[in-house]
Amino acid sequence: MRISMVMMAKSTGTPPGGVPPLLLALVRQTRNLLDSVSIAADVPGIRDEMVEKLVAAIREANEIAKEASTESGKASGPSPKSRWYQVVGYLVQVLDGVCKNVELSEINERLLRVERKLSVAKSGSSQARRKS
């Protein structure tokens, strides 16, 4: 399988609303590609496109994680940096599954898990903003 790398501009960080639109869009576009796989004849091409989008999403989430705060907004909860690295980990698991030819339903479940983590990150950012 041919994997082409995607060049990404430096991340602009997390916007005031929480989750960067680019990261959320990349995850959603990857999930949409899953629907194409079941009806398309060009599965390798779609797989390559999924890999490119996942690599871009991993880079974006990693840049956000590097810039995120290490201080937890809650007394016992994990820090934003930890949460963003958790998102990176989930995205890497999805990429690993795509490269290893994992069942589409499992890839879809992994992407849904990433989207849930992103929605938690978004709501966490909103709560942190309200406290300050």
Q: CA geometry: angle at 71 spanning 56 and 120, to 5°?
A: 50
Tokens 């995607």 sit at which residue? Answer: 6
pLDDT of residue 122: 64
d(CA 69, CA 1): 38
pLDDT of residue 45: 80
Per residue, what are the HEC states of 23-79? Answer: HHHHHHHHHHHHHHHHHCCCHHHHHHHHHHHHHHHHHHHHHHHHHCCCCCCCCCCCC
Percent of residues, the chain, with pLDDT higher than 70: 68
Helix axis angle, 104-131 relative to 80-99, nearest 10°?
A: 170
**Closest C-alpha to 57, from 89, 80, 35:** 89
Cα torsion angle, 79, 80, 84, 90, sign: positive
Domain spans of the chain? Answer: 21-70+77-131
Which of the following CATH numbers is that of domain 21-70+77-131: 1.20.1250, 1.10.260, 1.10.3470, 1.20.120?
1.20.120
pLDDT of residue 121: 66
> What are the b/e assignments for 10-29, b being 16+ CB within 10 Å?
ebeebeeebbbebbbebbbe
Question: What pLDDT, in 10s, does the model give residues 92-104?
Answer: 998 888 887 767 7
